[in-house]
């Protein structure tokens, strides 16, 4: 975002620099005031679409929202699922909103604070992925994959974050952390 550079230069300088970088195709405009450095995939022979997760996080930063990827998207971001959902949803403390990014749409869905929780990062992704997978589909292989993905500090955060929530998620978090009791 252009605002990210206002601590090192004036608004006019930032705008002129971004304009020059756009003209030279070093960066591209994703949305008004939001830019990225395009990545080229030589195997596909073209420029890749903007990273949806980075774009959503930049939009949340701009609007001062707290966001958490929901369900299948959280599982995909963690690498627990190879399925890329057709609908990219982020739970948010902001309003319900759809944002078009190229040919994709990011859906921001207002959620109560207790659903969003206080956790961010991998812990929040793990909780949303567990909710998506569900108690019935949960197996030892999934728990093992989650255990191998999360660093020790995140495992402890997961147990702490789920302690007063849904019982089966808390029990699963303890298994992921290595405390089967």
- Mean pLDDT over 105-110 rounds to 94
User: What per-residue confidence (pLDDT) applies to 99?
Assistant: 93
Which residues 6+ apart lie within 8 Å of 102 measured at CB?
30, 49, 50
Cα–Cα dist 45/57, whole Å: 28
Cα–Cα dist 91/97, whole Å: 11
Q: Is residue 5 part of a domain?
A: no
- Check pLDDT > 90 for residue 113: no
Instruction: Tell whether 41 and 59 lie within a shared domain.
Output: no
Q: pLDDT digit string (tens) for 17-38? A: 889 998 998 989 988 888 888 8
- Check pLDDT > 80 for residue 117: no
Cα–Cα dist 151/114, whole Å: 24
- Going by pLDDT thresholds of 50, 70 and 90, the confidence category of residue 43 is confident
Mean of pLDDT over the chain: 87
Instruction: Tell whether 98 and 72 lie within a shared domain.
Output: yes
- Check pLDDT > 90 for residue 107: yes
Instruction: Tell whether 67 and 25 lie within a shared domain.
Output: no
Instruction: Tell whether 82 and 165 lie within a shared domain.
Output: yes
Cα–Cα dist 52/50, whole Å: 6
User: What per-residue confidence (pLDDT) applies to 14?
Assistant: 83
Instruction: Tell whether 124 and 64 lie within a shared domain.
Output: yes
User: What per-residue confidence (pLDDT) applies to 44?
Assistant: 82
Q: Name the one residue in this structure whose structure tokens are 């849904």.
A: 166
User: What per-residue confidence (pLDDT) applies to 159?
Assistant: 92
- Mean pLDDT over 130-148 rounds to 90
Instruction: Tell whether 27 and 96 lie within a shared domain.
Output: no
pTM: 0.81
User: What per-residue confidence (pLDDT) applies to 119?
Assistant: 66
Domain count along the chain: 2
- Going by pLDDT thresholds of 50, 70 and 90, the confidence category of residue 180 is low
- Check pLDDT > 70 for residue 7: yes
Q: Is residue 111 part of a domain?
A: yes
Q: Is residue 2 part of a domain?
A: no
Instruction: Tell whether 38 and 90 lie within a shared domain.
Output: no
Q: Phi, psi at residue 35, to the nearest 5°?
A: -130, 160
Instruction: Tell whether 80 and 128 lie within a shared domain.
Output: yes
Q: 158: domain range?
A: 52-177
Q: Is residue 114 part of a domain?
A: yes
Instruction: Tell whether 34 and 114 lie within a shared domain.
Output: no
**Short-list 144, 181, 137, 140, CA closest to 159:** 181
């Amino acid at each position: 975002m252009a605002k990210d550079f206002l601590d090192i230069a004036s608004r006019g300088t930032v705008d002129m620099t971004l304009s020059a970088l756009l003209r030279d195709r070093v960066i591209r405009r994703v949305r008004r005031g939001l830019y990225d450095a395009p990545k080229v995939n030589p195997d596909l022979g073209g420029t890749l679409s903007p990273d949806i997760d980075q774009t959503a996080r930049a939009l949340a930063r701009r609007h001062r929202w707290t966001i958490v990827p929901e369900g299948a998207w959280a599982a995909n971001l963690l690498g627990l699922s190879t399925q890329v959902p057709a609908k990219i949803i982020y739970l948010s403390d902001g309003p319900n909103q759809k944002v078009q990014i190229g040919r994709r749409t990011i859906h921001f869905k207002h959620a109560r604070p207790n659903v969003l929780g206080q956790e961010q990062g991998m812990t929040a992704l793990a909780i949303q992925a567990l909710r998506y997978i569900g108690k019935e589909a949960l197996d030892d292989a999934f728990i093992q994959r989650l255990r191998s993905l999360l660093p020790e500090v995140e495992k402890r955060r997961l147990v702490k974050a789920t302690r007063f929530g849904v019982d089966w998620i808390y029990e699963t978090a303890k298994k992921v952390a290595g405390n089967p009791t």
